[in-house]
């Protein structure tokens, strides 16, 4: 099954990888903002309680029961990051004797990275829900929960031994089932099939012409999600959901310009690497205030501390020859949002969020200029017909200044002593369309008590 899934996903990822490009818009290389245009306009407040429309299925599969009939939703997000590392000290190299010597400007110590996220990129997502009976729903969610493209605009030179470029692309497919137990309780579950493809390059030396070492691999592995929604009284929705860890076993190659006897030969060597993408718990509350106003809250915890040390194993020998040491912390995301129903067709929304990042000043790498961030969001929905609804959303992410500190204690420390700082920010814009395939005017037996609209 894995072989078939890997072949199918690999045929798709050549396109999807381009769409997942850009610096991550959530902690580390996760892509929360690519999930939904409606959610983006409210900083994803109330995601677990169904407050963001069909995009809520990405967090809580039980929210599928909020959509009667047969409905689909497509969202397209553009992420435009901006970050550039500027050195904060003279770059030095440590000699075998233990002494350090400065690297001259000609060697690159005076160069900043320039933009490391490129021109940004698109992230698509899709959702479908089909009500089979008065209590049972099935559906599907597809998206890209993780992604990164990081490549310095300038020749990195001295710091390039820590990274010349990084690329991570994922495709996630989640068949979903939901059941309305009674008027106040719904449950749901989803099976996750996830494909990941990675490509990491770093220089084998500090000169501008130093050759690359290249680590690349891909994997298909599986996980699950389950959740509940509660409606203790009319107008109040509560959601709680869990997304499992996905344990990936990457199969790939490590290309090196020089042999590392007896394990690696010069050229391409088969490798394996085990990595754990984090599990998470999310809580949401959506409260109707009156006929025009609705408030939403959200809290999300992500177990990024699972993503720490990744040994790279030479397949021919079965022993590790290096490792990727991330040493991440757990992350937290808090959000609040308001919706205002201006008239029958137009709904306005805004939200604010704050994220405590998994990345800090001790473990930050040159690939990712991530730090704690403030979300400022706004958006709207317009009901074009009884079958079609359009959404747009925008978020500005103000990221705290991010420092890299390869001065001796970094988890991926090498011979070059390099410190720098970036002042990142991200613009995100998204558009979405919801389509009702059946006739909304037809009576559905015992429709759900809780509906978004």
Whether 374 shows a pLDDT value over 90: the answer reads yes
What pLDDT, in 10s, does the model give residues 300-315? 999 999 888 889 999 8
Q: Using omega within 30 degrees of 0 as the cis cutoff, is the peptide bond preceding 262 cis?
A: yes
> Whose CA is closest to 151, among 254, 30, 23?
23
What pLDDT, in 10s, does the model give residues 13-61? 333 333 333 345 566 788 887 789 999 999 999 999 999 999 999 999 9
How are beta strands 185-203 and 147-150 bridged, if at all? unpaired
* Stated pTM of the model: 0.88
pLDDT, residue 209, reads 81
Dist. CA 276–CA 250, nearest whole Å: 11
pLDDT, residue 319, reads 87
What pLDDT, in 10s, does the model give residues 178-229? 999 999 999 999 999 999 999 999 888 877 788 889 999 999 999 999 999 9
Identify the bridge partners of residue 341 per DSSP, sorted by sequence position.
347
């Amino acid at each position: 099954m894995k072989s078939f899934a890997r072949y199918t996903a690999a045929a798709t990822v050549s396109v999807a990888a381009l769409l997942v490009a850009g610096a991550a818009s959530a902690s580390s290389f996760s892509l929360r903002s690519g999930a939904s245009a409606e959610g983006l306009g409210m900083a994803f407040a109330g995601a677990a309680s169904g407050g963001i429309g069909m995009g809520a299925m990405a967090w809580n599969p039980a929210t599928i029961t909020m959509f009667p009939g047969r409905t689909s939703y497509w969202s397209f997000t553009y992420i435009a990051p901006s970050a550039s590392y500027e050195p904060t000290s003279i770059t030095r190299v440590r000699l075998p004797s233990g002494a350090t010597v400065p690297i001259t400007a000609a060697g690159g110590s005076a160069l900043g990275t320039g933009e490391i996220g490129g021109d940004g990129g698109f992230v698509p997502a899709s959702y479908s829900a089909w009500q089979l009976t008065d209590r049972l729903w099935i559906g599907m969610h597809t998206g890209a929960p993780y992604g990164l493209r990081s490549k310095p605009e300038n020749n990195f030179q001295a710091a390039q031994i820590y990274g010349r470029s990084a690329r991570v692309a994922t495709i996630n497919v989640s068949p979903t089932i939901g059941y309305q137990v009674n008027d106040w309780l719904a449950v749901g579950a989803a099976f996750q099939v996830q494909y990941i493809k990675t490509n990491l390059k770093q220089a084998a030396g500090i000169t501008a012409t130093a050759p690359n070492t290249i680590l690349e691999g891909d994997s298909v592995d599986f996980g699950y999600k389950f959740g509940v929604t509660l409606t203790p009284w009319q107008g109040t929705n509560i959601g709680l959901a869990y997304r499992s860890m996905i344990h990936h076993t990457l199969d790939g190659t490590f290309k090196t310009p020089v042999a590392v006897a007896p394990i690696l030969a010069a050229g391409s060597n088969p490798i394996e690497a085990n990595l754990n993408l984090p599990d998470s718990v999310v809580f949401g509350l959506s409260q109707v205030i009156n006929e025009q106003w609705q408030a939403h809250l959200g809290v999300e915890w992500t177990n990024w501390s699972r993503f720490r040390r990744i040994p790279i194993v030479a397949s021919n020998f079965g022993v590790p020859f290096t490792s990727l040491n991330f040493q991440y912390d757990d992350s937290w995301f808090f959000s609040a949002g308001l919706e205002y129903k201006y008239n029958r067709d137009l709904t306005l929304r805004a939200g604010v969020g704050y994220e405590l990042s998994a990345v800090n000043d001790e473990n930050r790498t040159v690939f990712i200029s991530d730090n704690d961030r403030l979300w400022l969001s706004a958006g709207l929905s317009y009901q074009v017909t009884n079958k079609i609804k359009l959404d747009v959303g925008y978020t500005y992410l103000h990221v705290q200044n991010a420092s890299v500190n390869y001065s001796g204690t970094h988890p991926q420390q090498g011979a070059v002593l390099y410190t720098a700082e970036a002042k990142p920010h991200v613009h995100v814009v998204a558009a979405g369309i919801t389509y009702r395939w059946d006739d909304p005017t037809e009576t559905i037996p015992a429709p759900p008590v809780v509906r978004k609209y």
